[in-house]
Chains A and B, each alone.
Chain A
């Protein structure tokens, strides 16, 4: 009995380690650099459809996205994405699906291609970069966050209204930090946001993320 219990625990441990490892696949920076200007992992469709788990998922199956005829035709023939077909598509979209609306030249670098295909296979919960997750662990002084936030509030509205500039209130802290990092690291281009984030330390970002999470869309600040 003792023996079999030990096997049971060992098996459970291996399973839990496996699950843990799978959930911790972090988002490659290459995704932000190459894909994120058109694709989000949550929220509404942008230029391209919002992406979820890709492998074994029907091709062109996001119901609210208007796919090209070419991709719909490809979906009718191939049904679901496989690691191989996704890899071929991202390596050269025009060649894999002639007529696709995705205006993207493709990824030549093998390592980059692998990192993105592996990631998109099942992004799971891993929608954040390691860097953002580490910053979110830093101690955040709420008063300092409120002071720093006043600089953001010249443009971003405290009640979350978006009349030309995105809302940054009430967001998950790691989401917030990841978005700021994309500007600070030069992955996303925007003259004002790149300038503003260049002047923010990791501690500043943690304090800002903590403060803005306390504001809610619709006001009451």
Chain B
């Protein structure tokens, strides 16, 4: 008998189900499994472990031993941070909080048997599962590009070796060459991210390659903090930066990684470095768990971040489809605390408090020139809804901008110690 793939997977699941011991009520500690050790997952794991004081068994599954934050990775491209300064280990979460940190990929979730399967073959059962897998790219979103080309045309939108590769390409670019950035359509991780990146690359090139050009190809007519970025670009970087929006074909772009050409609605440009940031969807494990919608994101209830598909599964951060919050590390960290409070309540009967959410996104546009946008949010029956917000203004004085930048450095240290202990 030949098993086809479906039968094989089905058989494996059945064996796994038969091996899973039935839970003995009251005997074992409740088990929480968290997939993804970024701003959502690491925070949720830490808060549940810290606040339950050992009453909940917490496992954190994260493939990398050294986690590089996406936030502030643009500052590394601009020469304001070292790569090591944005790297973090999970040592404290294990030693100080008793979290079982497993460095592996989660490749499957069986919600019927409440089992997570790892790439290494291990299976871990859960009472509550928290998915915080971040983003993956939509195949074919930029014709000619796939993850197979990421070493020629990096995305650098998951920080680490991709970010280092992009930096080395920028530093090695021929004099007067062209750096192209293909911006993603909405919704995507870190709305100001591509534009902060443009600012930081321009800052770097202005010093190391001042005749270089930057070409931004953008499918969106508008973008986050647009007025503030454009003011900074003309103030600091003169005519170095050209942005092509959808009115000039920015939404009809394909690339050729072999010839280093990009085709913008029929007009072909030869470029020297090409940073492709394709359209995004929830990290693939969310789809494997069967909690995503047609657009590839995971709908959640606003009051506790539980999946609309399964009350024992929660989805945090970029992967979630929650309403008005931007996909940012700050948002994920904020959502994680609401989720941790609800999960702990469900498992141990601890007090449950009303959901509160907030976000601020800082961006650096040049030396000592920081800008920010932020808002607070509430949970409604329908979604996470914005209640009020603020944004930096154009024409602010230099002292305020410097203060905003210094504040962002304080925030970086705050959120990373809130994530990693």
Interface residues of A (CB under 8 A from B): 143-144, 146-148, 150-151, 153-159, 161-165, 191-192, 194-196, 198-199
Output the least CB separation between B235 and chain A (Å): 21
Find chain A residues with CB under 8 A from B375 CB. 195
Contact with A along B393-419 (1 / 0, CB 8 A): 000000000000011111101110110
Give CA–CA (A154, B330) in the complex, Å: 7
Give CA–CA (A107, B212) in the complex, Å: 55
Whether A147 pairs with B413 at a CB distance below 8 angstroms is no
Q: Is there a chain A Cβ closer than 8 Å to B47's Cβ?
A: yes
Whether A154 pairs with B414 at a CB distance below 8 angstroms is yes
Find chain A residues with CB under 8 A from B390 CB. 191-192, 194-195
Which of B108-116, B131-139, B318-326, B333-341 is the interface stretch? B333-341
Output the least CB separation between B240 and chain A (Å): 29
Whether B374 pairs with A195 at a CB distance below 8 angstroms is yes
Output the least CB separation between A78 and chain B (Å): 34
Whether A151 pairs with B334 at a CB distance below 8 angstroms is yes
15 CB-based A-B contacts, threshold 8 Å: A143-B350, A144-B353, A147-B341, A147-B351, A148-B356, A150-B418, A151-B356, A155-B415, A156-B414, A157-B410, A158-B417, A162-B410, A164-B408, A195-B375, A199-B387
* Majority SS at the chain B contact face: helix
Find chain A residues with CB under 8 A from B392 CB. 191
Q: A153-B414, A154-B358 are in contact. List 16 more A-B contacts (CB 8 A).
A: A143-B351, A144-B351, A148-B356, A150-B47, A151-B334, A151-B337, A154-B418, A155-B411, A155-B415, A157-B413, A157-B417, A159-B417, A165-B410, A195-B389, A196-B358, A199-B356
Find chain B residues with CB under 8 A from A150 CB. 47, 337, 418
Q: A153-B418, A154-B330 are in contact. Are A195 and B358 (CB under 8 A)?
A: yes
Residue of B nearest to A149 (CB): B337
Whether A192 pairs with B413 at a CB distance below 8 angstroms is no
Whether A154 pairs with B411 at a CB distance below 8 angstroms is yes
Whether B51 pairs with A146 at a CB distance below 8 angstroms is yes
Whether B51 pairs with A198 at a CB distance below 8 angstroms is no
Across the A-B interface, the 4 shortest Cβ-Cβ residue pairs = A164-B410, A165-B410, A191-B390, A164-B409
Which of B51, B353, B410, B418 is within 8 Å of A163, CB to CB? B410
Give CA–CA (A148, B353) in the complex, Å: 9
Output the least CB separation between B393 and chain A (Å): 10
- Looking at A144, A146, A155, which has the most chain B CB atoms within 10 Å of its CB? A155
Which of B47, B51, B350, B372 is within 8 Å of A191, CB to CB? B372
Whether A191 pairs with B417 at a CB distance below 8 angstroms is no
Output the least CB separation between B261 and chain A (Å): 43
Residue of B nearest to A162 (CB): B410
